[in-house]
Structure 1
Amino acid sequence: MDLEHRKDSSFKLKLDQSEIVSLYEDMILGRYFEDMCAQMYYRGKMFGFVHLYTGQEAISSGVIKALEEKDYVCSTYRDHVHALSKGVSSREVMAELFGKETGCCRGRGGSMHIFSKKHNFLGGFAFIGEGIPIATGAAFQSIYRKQVLQESQTLSVTVCFFGDGTTNNGQFFECLNMAALWKLPIIFVVENNQWAIGMAHPRSTSVPEIHMKAASFGMPGKEVDGMDVLAVREVTEQAIRRARAGEGPTLIEALTYRFRGHSLADPDELRSSQEKEAWTARDPIKRLYNYIIEKDITDHNTLEAINQKVKVIIEDSVDFATSSPEPSVKDLHKFLFL
């Protein structure tokens, strides 16, 4: 499904011009934030493993920006941009990456454990598949509140992100079974970036088409171009409508590509230059930029103003993180449980 969308689709995506421009701004925020993270990491401002999201922004923006504030998001160790899309400020995320007291986890979480109770962002997780049971639990409490506690509000939806490598793990199959059995309001989003660290996806699974695995559990499985934010938004809105109506889960496989290595410590020597070039030519931000101009949604000057605005936000987040205090040693045992 390209930016023009399939004409045979029974669901028509309805976004006004301001919403499309807002998606562009969110994607730019994610891209510039990650670029700055790379700079700060190599300057020794960040420590440990840092996994960047560069190239996958259409999925984060396309999915999370379709949610309501009350909805939940559960991430992976590649979690910075998911948090930004859910509304966690770039200041808080950057400060967390710097290990500062002003970070969203008070500097205790770091790159792989971004969390925000305020924004219903359930966290990043260092181990693959670790977040899927957490997300399933969040979806269960939503339907429990509705069916058992008789709360009148509409169902909150949970989105669970994970990579292609996770789909060979037990948690994936167990939780999809539970979600389908209990008709939980959850959307499982597989960010298939073709590589599980250094293992090419087709070499690691007997069924490379991950979305087809949904049929085993009686739930819809959708494949979407993960480099096309409007296509991602369209399948997400369908899945949200289904979940909120109490019809159960959906599995979305978004085909994408990370433009950098697995982490900033990865020399990225396993992937061929031809493969990288083919995917970077489909840069989701450039595609949306061209679509906006071609459809006369706004002009070059407006988009450039957005770019400059976001650069200021990112620079401010670095200044904020740099000037923020380190956690105190005397508080070592604080905030272990919330």
Structure 2
Amino acid sequence: MVNNLEETIYSNQQMKKMLTDMMLIRSFEEAVEKLFQEGKIPGTMHLCIGQEATAVGACAALTDEDKITSTHRGHGHSIAKGAEIKPMMAELLGKATGYGKGKGGSMHIADLTIGNLGANGIVAAGLPIGTGAALASQMKKKGYVVLCFFGDGAANEGAFHEALNLASIWNLPVVFFCENNQYGMSGPVKEMVNIEHISDRAKSYGIPGFTINGNDVIEVAKATQEAVDRARSGEGPTLIEAETYRWRGHSRSDARKYRTREEEKDWRNTKDPISKFKERLIEESILTEKEFLEIQKTIDTEIHEAVSFAEESPEPSLDTLEVDIYV
């Protein structure tokens, strides 16, 4: 684990960018939550508040050409990989200016131009997609690496094991990144697996696997960078388990009866990835409190503009109902 920021390979500007991206993700999610409560967002959503460091740290290790596959809790992944928040917000509101032209919604944000192969509403479905993309990179000698985000619940799906096995035997340039936020839909991880760490499963496939503090953005970035470098050099896949915590329920209908408010308070007060990283940057004289407030002010403006853009955008017209449908 990194003890001080002087040990990092990142410049002050890069670390400020990490903090800014985490702040943007949280502000985006808080705005989305408010819009949902106002009845302006159809369907459901899965917020990643509290998990910002996993998305930002992992994507900090990727190039523009590298790819990601995401999950139903994927807003943070999209923003960390470079998505624009205006079309993201428009998509959530079901507007024609959204990434999916208002047809995909919260669980289907994608942007191939920045290497985001898409979020997915099916648990574990991104793993075989990412493995296939890594196979394409290998066969076509493209040189890009694929990072597959998935949750702890997905590690118990058949697609997880199939993807890791194929990636291992074919030595594919892929990083399997498990965001272990301690709970599946309504039960703790410790009741769903009979091993200490999900990363222990890497041994079964002959690949490296390790568990990290998913709320420490620098630790996440460094660990992912090692895995990405390994994949890019032809040494094959890695399984990373990043331990984190979602502050909200599984979805907006989740009353969180399976965990205590005391536990939630402890994670918010002692392990908040944003406040902890802010404190570290200030201690290292990389950031000032004034700069932090200026960053938040800029983000607030960006979020306001994104919400206005989405609300003022047109609804999809009926004549586009069957456009982009292939089967």
| Aligned equivalent of 1:325 | 314
Q: Does 1:225 align with 2:213?
A: yes
Q: Does 1:162 align with 2:157?
A: no
Q: Does 1:41 align with 2:61?
A: no
1:208 and 1:318 map into 2 onto residues whose CA distance is 43
1:108-147 equivalences in 2 (<5 Å): 108-146=103-141
State the 1:4 CA deviation: 2.9
| Aligned equivalent of 1:266 | 254
Structure 1 counterpart SS, 2:178: strand
1:129 and 1:197 map into 2 onto residues whose CA distance is 14
Corresponding letter in the other structure for 1:249: P
The equivalent position to 2:77 in structure 1, one of 74, 82, 86, is 82
| Aligned equivalent of 2:282 | 293
| Aligned equivalent of 2:243 | 255
Cα distance per residue 1:256-312 (max 9 Å; x no partner): 000001111212222112211221121000000000100001211111111111111
Corresponding letter in the other structure for 1:233: A
| Aligned equivalent of 1:202 | 190
Cα distance per residue 1:112-164 (max 9 Å; x no partner): 11111211211111110111110000100000011xxxxxx6x1010001110
Unaligned 5+ runs, structure 1: 147-152
Cα distance per residue 1:50-106 (max 9 Å; x no partner): 100000000000011221111101000001111111111000110000000000110
Identity over aligned pairs, percent = 39
Corresponding letter in the other structure for 1:219: I
Structure 1 counterpart SS, 2:109: coil
Corresponding letter in the other structure for 2:46: H
1:21 and 1:200 map into 2 onto residues whose CA distance is 34
Residue pair 1:160, 1:188 contacting (<8 A) in 2 also: yes
Residue pair 1:105, 1:116 contacting (<8 A) in 2 also: no
1:92 and 1:34 map into 2 onto residues whose CA distance is 14
2:168 and 2:113 map into 1 onto residues whose CA distance is 28
Over 4 Å off, 4+ runs: none
The equivalent position to 1:99 in structure 2, one of 94, 97, 108, is 94
| Aligned equivalent of 1:234 | 222
| Aligned equivalent of 1:183 | 171
Corresponding letter in the other structure for 1:129: A
The equivalent position to 1:23 in structure 2, one of 13, 18, 41, is 18
Corresponding letter in the other structure for 1:82: H
How many residue pairs align between the two structures? 326
2:240 and 2:43 map into 1 onto residues whose CA distance is 31
State the 1:336 CA deviation: 2.1
Structure 2 counterpart SS, 1:279: helix
Residue pair 1:3, 1:291 contacting (<8 A) in 2 also: no
| Aligned equivalent of 1:313 | 302
Structure 1 counterpart SS, 2:253: coil
Corresponding letter in the other structure for 2:245: Y
Using a 3 Å threshold, how does the CA distance of structure 1 residues 266 and 75 change in structure 2: closer, same or farther?
A: same
1:271 and 1:56 map into 2 onto residues whose CA distance is 17
Corresponding letter in the other structure for 1:241: D
State the 1:337 CA deviation: 4.4
The equivalent position to 1:73 in structure 2, one of 68, 73, 76, is 68
Cα distance per residue 1:180-227 (max 9 Å; x no partner): 111111000000000001011000111141011101111110211001
Residue pair 2:26, 2:52 contacting (<8 A) in 1 also: yes
Structure 1 counterpart SS, 2:148: strand
The equivalent position to 1:192 in structure 2, one of 155, 160, 180, is 180
Residue pair 2:146, 2:175 contacting (<8 A) in 1 also: yes
Give the structure-2-normalised TM-score: 0.97
State the 1:28 CA deviation: 0.3
State the 1:2 CA deviation: 4.9
Residue pair 1:223, 1:254 contacting (<8 A) in 2 also: yes
Corresponding letter in the other structure for 2:84: S
Q: Does 1:52 align with 2:47?
A: yes
Residue pair 2:61, 2:222 contacting (<8 A) in 1 also: no
The equivalent position to 1:278 in structure 2, one of 266, 270, 292, is 266
1:337 and 1:292 map into 2 onto residues whose CA distance is 49
Cα distance per residue 1:15-67 (max 9 Å; x no partner): 11000000000000000000000000000110111100000000000011221
| Aligned equivalent of 1:149 | none
- Calculate the aligned-residue CA RMSD, in Å: 1.4
Cα distance per residue 1:222-264 (max 9 Å; x no partner): 2110010000011011011101101100100000000001111
Structure 1 counterpart SS, 2:112: coil
